[in-house]
Structure 1
């Protein structure tokens, strides 16, 4: 028979297996996670022999994209770059490359950095968006990554034409400078799982008016929304930290008109709306 050891196995006990392991050339393998994880093994006469499979770190190409294998069981890859002058990048399920099928689960650091032709990206299944992955994509207008869990540092910074953004409902972290200077972005919906918005994450988003941060948000970093002309925003009841000048340029008031401090204690659990830089708590 055969069995698989997932790429995500991190520990294998000393007496977990009674049979010895070998690689395909007959060399002995230690029965630990570092040696065994990510492969299928076939019982050949009492010895468990590793079978060929995707190699983590291997580079592949698919439809003008460069992929890097990030896990072998299950077979997963990240987008690490591109060739040519792409205008649209889209996924519709597993991709076939190098003789195997891969789930594309990440856009790796710098993958599309400063790509001047990319106008849209539709990437269902992608969960991790690496740092500077779309930095400076000046023609990027539309992004849909509905399974995203994290947006890395400067991931979309200086995407000055980005106006259509769908991050789905699984997002947990928006890192520092993630959308810095996205001057065409008018709204942001963080879904129901967002916990952290990093420093300067939306600073300089000069069209950002409607912000939905959801019920789970705990931390808002320094100057996260500085210089944003926000007209509506909801702040979760579990908000713990609002760092310096997170909402620089805005004034918050309670429903009676009294000015509120820019602290978690004063702002948490309220939805605010208004105009001209003055936002009043809704009753």
Structure 2
């Protein structure tokens, strides 16, 4: 297990895709006191690596994701993606939220084509690319359906398709399966791994679920209670070629190891 304390900076390398250096973030509400959400975060995500962010509620996992996506300003420290300093959202970073964020008045096809049209992609090309990605996420035959006509899992497939059709080099996912039932969630995890293997890209995946983190990620970044710091970085080292790997001793032991790290943070959040 690799530990990364608050004062440590991970050294960037040629295969680094995301480099977070000395990032802290303070929320300043109009009413009430300031809250230090993140404190001196240092992290490198390698090219095409799948990393999960895990930690207690309020530890700043989603905040770090939004900073990386450019949705929040980086006020202290720096975040670089593929060598470029993050200052705003960009097409190189796709984001998938927990709550679908589909346009209810648009069909599945129109939702998926929306970003392509905004980029000026010719309509025929956009239609072809949308059709291809909808096949990949298992929505062939539902192109003309509206979000209200779909199950939760299908709506999330459409949201993922809308992001992947732009082929971002980096995929940021904020608890994308958190609102799904257990069976659908498991199916979506399987499909996400399959998509990632077919089209490798760096994935940063926020979750509260230790089992999900170990199932999906090559490395799990365990964060401390607020203010969020990196408590440990755990290499999962799971052989996923075995379809029954979730029953393996290695998988169970890794889940237990990370659970222990999380439980150490119970009740530690700063007031």
Q: Shared fold by TM > 0.5?
A: no
Q: Which has the higher contact order (CA 8 A, sep 6+)?
A: 2
Greater gyration radius:
1
- Structure-2-length-normalised TM-score: 0.26
